[in-house]
Amino acid sequence: MRITMIGTGYVGLVSGACFSDFGHEVICVDKDESKIASLERGVMPIYEPGLDALVATNVRAGRLSFTTDVKAGVANADAVFIAVGTPSRRGDGHADLSYVFAAAREIAEAVNHDILLVTKSTVPVGTGDEVERIVREAAPGRTIRVASNPEFLREGAAIEDFKRPDRVVCGTDDEAAREALRQIYRPLSLNQSAPVLFTGRRTAELIKYAANAFLATKITFINEIADLCEAAGADVQEVSRGIGLDNRIGRKFLHAGPGYGGSCFPKDTLALLKTAEDMQTPLRIVEAVVSVNDSRKRAMGRKVLKAMGGEARGKRVAVLGLTFKPNTDDMRDSPAIAVIQTLQDAGAQIFACDPEGVEQAKKVLQNVEFVADPYTAAESADAVVIVTEWDAYRAIDLSRLAATMATPLLVDLRNVYSREEAEKAGLDYVGVGKPA
């Protein structure tokens, strides 16, 4: 099929590249001329493992192309996907849908034939109704079927998630739209790799928010259990294994740490709360999740200060890992931001490194010395803090680290190392949810 993807951000670019790899003809559209120019040169605007090779392969095959011209991009499309940003709106925390609505109107005004219009952006329940109203107004007499197809991509594993998903959710009650979506996702059906779940449009929109809120709840739950473990002298990693082996609970998203961040969980939980508030059905559990997660990030900074004896003024702290998770350069709502700011407020000097996130980190962090590797960061440091569990930080020579430090203290906010191996290397060790 001929598919047009509006937006070449994280979701749009990964989805467009994967659709083209399925054999569809895909045009990715973005108004950012510099981004399109970079993509045409093979330069990716985001870091995602394997994405540059996937794009290059399909561009060479003639299945994937890029343009800034919406009208040209949709001229021959069978289906047009909207994959623009829906950031939290300033002032009230609602999802900002202005980009979605503007894209819908521009598409409707540009096409001269019937199409399937699919919202892939994460949007509150009922957004599809408004999109449908907009396109009917902008293109009277033309058949533009509006469907919802939320994405469930994890940064750092997005290509695998797209090609081998747990499920594909398609929201529409229109049989012609359903058949078009079946054809689009037919390669997955042939591989029997995932069920394609058809629901009503509003249901599909809500599935996305409900899924993210539930995963955020699991993370926040185990983080609070970690605090209890520290007070009770228990080990949160063993607790996680013990409860995760219960199939009703599952092992994923039960890793204690400094709180969740990124482009999805913070804004999506907030948007879900605002939607529930507007509908007078408050979600008390999600309210607690958001509150606990917000406070936890600075609490992890205070945890480092406590490990340093409560005094950090003039001391040097090495921070390993800045992005909100490994295998991405995404700094949005990263726990590292709050941890570093808490340490800076206490007077600490920060030396930090990250395999991919330094350039993005420079945009949000002030007065931080960025260095190339953990050993440089640890020179003369009074503490080393692991914030993001990159593979590159899982096999550090801890003895070498300890030998260069002013005070051999390792604060491991991801429980990458054990107390035994850290102490064997000459380091004092503080983990999360571990007995003292």
Q: For residue range 269-313, list pLDDT tens digits in order.
A: 999 999 999 999 999 999 999 999 999 999 999 999 999 999 999
Radius of gyration from C-alpha coordinates of the chain:
23
Is pLDDT of 141 > 90? no
- Residue 93's pLDDT band, with cuts at 50, 70 and 90, is confident
User: What pLDDT is stored for residue 391 in this prediction?
Assistant: 96
pTM of the predicted model over 0.85: yes
Cβ-proximal residues to 434 (8 Å cutoff; 6+ apart), any chain: 229, 230, 235, 236, 237, 415, 419
pLDDT, position 90: 81
**What are the angstrom distances between the C-alpha of 60 and each of 20, 41, 418?**
11, 12, 47
Average pLDDT over residues 213-240: 98
Q: 124 with 183, same domain?
A: yes
Number of domains in the chain: 3
CATH number at residue 118: 3.40.50.720
Tell me, yes or no, whether 236 and 131 share the same domain: no
**DSSP secondary structure string, 65-111?**
EEES-HHHHHTT-SEEEE----PBPTTT--B--HHHHHHHHHHHHH-
CA angle 127, 129, 130 (to 5 degrees): 70
Same domain? For 99 and 167 the reply is yes
pLDDT band for position 407 (cuts 50, 70, 90): very high
Provide the residue range defining the domain that includes 59: 2-199
Helices 284-307 & 335-345, crossing angle to 10 degrees? Answer: 50
Q: 317-370 pLDDT, tens per residue?
A: 999 999 999 999 999 999 999 999 999 999 999 999 999 999 999 999 999 999
Residue of 18, 28, 264, 353 marked catalytic:
264
Same domain, 119 and 265: no
- CB distance 338 to 300 below 8 Å: yes
Letter for the amino acid at 40?
E
Co-location of 109 and 181 in the same domain:
yes
Q: What is the pLDDT of residues 159-170, one digit of tens each?
A: 999 999 999 999
Partner residues linked to 318 by β-bridges: 351, 384
Query: Distance (Å, rounded) from C-alpha 402 to C-alpha 397?
Result: 9
Tell me the CATH number at 223: 1.10.1040.10
Is it the case that residue 267 has pLDDT exceeding 70? Answer: yes
What is the phi/psi pair of residue 321, to 5°?
95, 125
pLDDT for the residue 198: 97
- What is the reported pLDDT for 192? 61
pLDDT in tens, 35-60: 999 999 999 999 999 999 999 999 99
Same domain? 135 vs 7: yes
* Contact between residue 79 and residue 48 where contact means Cβ atoms under 8 Å apart: no
7 and 148 in a common domain: yes
In a domain, 100, yes or no: yes
DSSP characters over 324-360: SSSS----TT-HHHHHHHHHHHTT-EEEEE-SS-HHH
- Do 79 and 180 lie in one domain? The reply is yes
pLDDT band at 191 (very low <50, low <70, confident <90, very high): low
Q: Same domain, yes or no, for 285 and 303?
A: no
What tokens appear for 245 in the block? 């082996």
Note whether residue 435 is domain-resident.
no
170 tagged catalytic: no
* Residues 367 and 337: beta-carbon distance below 8 Å: no
Q: Is the dihedral of CA 26, 68, 40, 96 positive or negative?
A: negative
